[in-house]
Chain A
Amino acid sequence: MNGFRMPPFAFKRLLASGAIACAVLLPCVASASLGEPETSAQTDGEQMHGSIKESDRGAYRVHEIQLPSGTLVREYSGLDGVVFAVAWNGPFMPDLRQMLGRYFDAYAAAAKAKHADHHHLQIQQSDLVVQSSGHMRAFNGRAYLPQAIPGGVSVGDLL
C-alpha cells in the first residue's frame, strides 16, 4: 500500500501503452540520471538491476524502475528528452549517485554542510532541489532541477 500511488487514469494509460512489454526485455531502455538525456538512462535500470515501466504524461514522461529491494524509483523527462526530476519511495535508499548523476557530488557536499536531522534533508540551490525524508525501512524523496521543469508541470505532480 505504500508503493507508487499513481492516479488510476495514469495507470490505465500506462497499461495501454507498450511500456509493459519493456519489462520483459532485460535489460531494458529506461531513463537517465538527472540532467542527462533519457536515452542514456537505460544504464539506471541495468545498474540497479530493476524492472522498468514507462508512461507518457503529456508534457513529460515517467520511467519507473522497481528495484529488487522493494524500492520504486521514478525518473521524469521532458519533451526534450532530458531528465528533470527523480523520485524514490520504499524500504531502502536507492543509488543516489546513479540517480543524481553529475549532481551527486553537489548533493553530497551540501548534505555534509547542512542537515536538520538523520531523518530529513532539504537541499535548496538555484539549480538543484533535493527533499529527502524517512526512517528505517521507509524512505521517500525527490530531486529536481527547478529551471528545467516543463511549463505547466508542478512539482507536486511529481510526488
Chain B
Amino acid sequence: MRGGCALLAFLSVVSCGGGGNSLGAATPPVQPAANVVAAVVDGGPPGLSALSVNTLYTTVTVCVPGSTTECQTIDHIQVDTGSSGLRLLAPALTLSLPVTASSSGASLLECMVFVDGYSWGPVSRVDLQVAGESAKSVLVQLIGDSRFPNVPSDCASTGSAEDTVAAFGANGIMGIGPLAQDCGPACATQAVPAFYYSCNAATCQNAMVSLASQVPNPVTLFATDNNGAIIVLPNVATDGAASVAGSLIFGIDTESNNQLGTVTVLSLDATSGGYLTTIFNGQTLTLSFVDSGSSALYFNDPSIALCSSSGFSGLYCPASAQNFGATLQGQDANGTSTGISIPESFTVANAEAQAQAEPAFTAFPELGGVFGTAGSFDWGLPFFYGRRIAVAIQDSPTTAGPGPFIAL
C-alpha cells in the first residue's frame, strides 16, 4: 500500500482488538520448523514512495533450475491468498533465469492483471526453497523483465503498469490462494485476452495454455505439506503497530504444527475464484472473500463517514470507532451457502486520524473502506490479525475433505 494510504494511522479507541477478536484465543508464537517461514507486516522494500500498510511479506530462495550455487534469497515477497502463483520482480533479481516456451515454441509471456494495474513479463522456472520446503523447476512469472519491453495493447488496456519494485510495492508476490493455477480452465480452452501470450521477437499473440503449463500455486509443488497453508499473526493494538511478526505454515494437517483441531471449515466456491458468503446489515453478500492481499476490510455501509482527504479516498473515517457484527458462511461449488457459519465482530476506526497519529506505523487492525459494487465483503489483512487462518487449495485432500476452503 503506497501513496496516500501511507498517511494512514489510527485513533486509539474502544474496540475488541481488530480482526482477532471473537474467534479463538490470541495465537501463541509458532515454533521454528521445516514448514514454517517468517511472515512480517512492515513498510515494504526500500525505494517505495510511501510505507506499505497492512501488507504481509515473506522471504523465499530461488535458484537457476538444477543449480545449487546460482541462488538468491529475496525478501519482501508479498503473501497473497487472493491470487495464485509466484511472481518475482525482475529488477530485484540478480539471477539469469530461462524463459519457457509456449506450445508453438515461441516465448511464453504473461499479463498478470491485478485490480490496481497489470504486471507484464515472461514465464520462467526456478528451483524454489521456502524455509525447509522445496520444489524443483517451478513455473513463475518474471515481472518487468527488460528482455520483453513491449506490452501488448490488450494488456496495457487493463490499467497502469506495475513493473518495478516501487510500482508493485514488493520484490515479488507469492499467491497461495485456494486456486491451483492462476488462469485455470479458461486459458486451457481459449486464448483469453490479456493473460497468456506466445511471443516472438516482433509480436505477441494471445495463447491457450494447458493447466500444467500455467503458473501454479507454488505450495502445490512441495513434496509434502502441499495442500494449503496457514497464516498466523498476533493481535495488533487498536492504534496500530510499526510492524508485526507472524508465520506462514505450509500444509494442513500434515505435521504436528498445522493441525486443524477444532476450527470451523468454510468451503469456497472454486468456480468463481473462491467466494464465500457474508451476512452483514441484513444483506446476504455472496461475492465475499478472505484475502491477505487486501489491506483493509472493504465493505459497503453508507452510514459510515468517508475520509475527506484525497489520499484517503474510499476509506472510512468515522468520528469515533464503530463496532459491527457479521457472519461468514461457506459456499458449495454451486455458490449456495453451506449453512456452516462463523460470527465475527469487527471495528472500524478513523483511518486518517490514526495515520496522522502514527505516521510510521504499517499495521492498522481497524482499517476499513468502501468496496464499491454491491454483494461483496472483502475480509482483508485486518481480519488475519490475532488469528490462525488456513487456506486449502482446490482438489487438495485434507483431513477435513478436499479444498478449496478456509478454516479458522
Q: Do A and B assemble together? A: yes
Q: Which residues of A contact B (CB under 8 A)?
A: 1-2, 5, 68-70, 87, 89, 91-98, 104, 107-109, 111-124, 131-142, 156, 159
Give 14 new A-B contacts, CB below 8 A, not counting A1-B269, A114-B2, A135-B83.
A5-B375, A70-B186, A115-B116, A116-B296, A117-B55, A117-B294, A117-B380, A119-B378, A133-B376, A135-B289, A135-B291, A136-B83, A140-B376, A156-B374
Chain B residues close to A by CB (< 8 Å): 1-5, 54-55, 78, 80, 82-84, 113-117, 154, 156-161, 167, 169, 173, 175, 177, 179, 182-184, 186, 190, 192-195, 269, 272-275, 286-287, 289, 291, 293-296, 298, 310-311, 313-315, 334-336, 369-376, 378, 380
Q: Specify which chain A residues have a CB less than 8 angstroms from the CB of B78 in the assembled complex.
A: 118
Give the complex CA separation of A89 and B156 in angstroms: 19
Check if B291 sits within 8 Å of A122, measured CB to CB. Answer: no
Do residues B378 and A120 form an inter-chain contact, with CB atoms below 8 A?
yes
Closest to A130 in B: B372
> Within the assembled complex, what's the spacing in Å between the Cα atoms of A88 and B194?
16
B84 contact set on A, CB distance < 8 A: 136
With A136-B179, A138-B273 known as contacts, the answer to whether A69 contacts B157 (CB < 8 A) is no
Rounded to whole Å, the gap between the CB of B306 and the closest CB of chain A is 9
Which of B115, B190, B274, B315 has most A Cβ within 10 Å?
Answer: B115
Max chain B C-beta neighbours (<10 A), residue from A94, A96, A115: A115
Residues of A within 8 A of B275 (CB): 2, 138
Q: Give the dominant DSSP class at B's interface.
A: loop
B-side contacts of A96, CB under 8 Å:
157-159
Instruction: Output the least CB separation between A57 and chain B (Å).
Output: 16
Question: Contacts A137-B184, A159-B373 hold; do A124 and B158 have CB atoms under 8 A apart?
Answer: no
- Roughly how many angstroms separate A1 CA and B313 CA in the complex, as a whole number? 31
Q: Which of A69, A87, A120 has the most CB of B within 10 A?
A: A120
* Assembled-state Cα–Cα distance A135/B268 (Å): 14
- Contact across chains for A118 and B373 when beta carbons are under 8 A apart: no
- A-B CB pair tally, cutoff 8 Å: 191
Q: Identify the closest chain A residue to B158 (Cβ).
A: A93
* B295–A116 CB distance below 8 A: yes
Contact B372 A116 (CB under 8 A): no
Interfacial chain A residues near B4, Cβ < 8 Å: 114
15 CB < 8 A contacts A-B: A1-B335, A2-B275, A96-B159, A116-B5, A117-B296, A119-B82, A119-B291, A120-B314, A120-B369, A120-B378, A131-B314, A137-B273, A138-B275, A140-B376, A142-B372
Bound form: Cα–Cα A115–B272 in Å: 25
Asked whether, in the complex, the Cβ of A121 is within 8 Å of the Cβ of B194, the reply is no
Knowing A112-B117, A131-B372, the reply to whether A118 touches B293 (Cβ < 8 A) is yes
Judging by beta carbons under 8 Å apart, are A92 and B173 in contact?
A: no
Which of the residues A5, A107, A120, A159 comes within 8 Å of B298, measured between beta carbons?
A120
Also in contact, A138 and B287, with CB within 8 A (given A118-B116, A119-B82, A121-B115): yes
Once the chains are docked, how many angstroms separate the CA of A96 from the CA of B153?
11
Query: Which A residues lie within 8 Å of B373 (CB)?
Result: 87, 89, 131, 133, 140-142, 159
Chain B residue nearest in CB terms to A2: B272
State the CA gap A13–B369 with chains docked (Å): 35
Query: Contact at A131–B115, with CB atoms within 8 Å?
Result: no
Instruction: Report whether A134 and B115 are in contact in the complex, using a CB–CB cutoff of 8 Å.
Output: yes
A135 to B294, CA, bound (A): 9
Q: Are B179 and A121 in contact (CB under 8 A)?
A: no
Is A133 in contact with B371, judged by CB distance below 8 angstroms?
A: yes
A19–B105 alpha-carbon span in the complex (Å): 44
Q: Which residue of A lies closest to B192 (CB)?
A: A69
Which chain B residues border A93 with CB–CB below 8 Å? 113, 115, 158-159, 194
Chain A nearest CB: distance from B365 CB in Å? 16
Chain B hits for A140, CB < 8 A: 287, 372-373, 375-376
Partner of A117, one of B156, B177, B295, B310: B295
Contact A95 B193 (CB under 8 A): yes
Q: Nearest chain-B residue to A157 (Cβ)?
A: B374
A residues near B175, Cβ cutoff 8 Å: 136
Partner of A92, one of B177, B195, B314: B195
